[in-house]
Amino acid sequence: YLSAPEVITCCIRALSHENPLVRIGAAKSLGRLGTGAGEEHLLKALEREDDPAVISEVIAALGKVSDSSRIPVLMKFLQHVDLRVQANAIESLAAIGTVEVIPAIEPFLRSSDNRVKANAAVACWVGGSLDVVHNLRDMLDNPNQKQRSSAIYAIGEVGTSLSKLANVPRYL
């Protein structure tokens, strides 16, 4: 087996691989390791990357290993043309952000994309906004199956957030 530092080193090298699937795997792995050891390398990869699938995974990884000092970096990707990048930026901002990110995320509650809208609802809920219940109800009533599925996902995430006692006072 490889030690944690060896795995991190391999992942960091893989962020520069010519194959985007390898870069995606490297970013996912660094995020799953959950340490800040690869954070600077993820940020550098984000600067040079042009593949939206890789960008979205790097953003997701940053949401797992970064702190609120990275909010400005992630905020830039809310306006990205790729909807998966937008959705992952919202999710990462919710994971590392504070209530200050909510005004930037709220407009995405009106997105036509199911994943973007669901992630925005979860992010706003985690930030203390109860109003998203109406958005989730509308998504559940939507004839589009993807909207309904994303609403169910978001409701599960809301339930998970409530199970964390640290979040409970926000809703009382």
Q: Give a three-class secondary structure readout of 116-157.
A: HHHHHHHHHHHCCCCCHHHHHHHHHHCCCHHHHHHHHHHHHH
Give pLDDT tens digits for 125-135.
988 888 899 99
Give pLDDT tens digits for 148-170.
999 999 999 988 887 765 555 66
pLDDT of 171 > 60? The answer is no
| Residue environment code for 24-46, b if the CB has 16+ CB neighbours within 10 A, otherwise e | bbbbbbbbebeeebbbebbeebb
Q: Are 30 and 11 in contact (CB under 8 A)?
A: yes
pLDDT at 172: 58
Give the amino acid at 123: A
pLDDT at 13: 95
pTM, to two decimals: 0.88
Mean per-residue pLDDT, 99-110: 92
Q: Are 80 and 89 in contact (CB under 8 A)?
A: yes
CA diameter of the chain: 50
pLDDT of 144 > 90? The answer is yes
pLDDT at 26: 95
pLDDT at 137: 96
* Residue 32 DSSP label: H
Q: Which residue matches tokens 């040079």?
A: 48
What pLDDT band is residue 7 in, cutting at 50, 70 and 90? confident
Give pLDDT tens digits for 30-47.
998 877 778 999 999 999
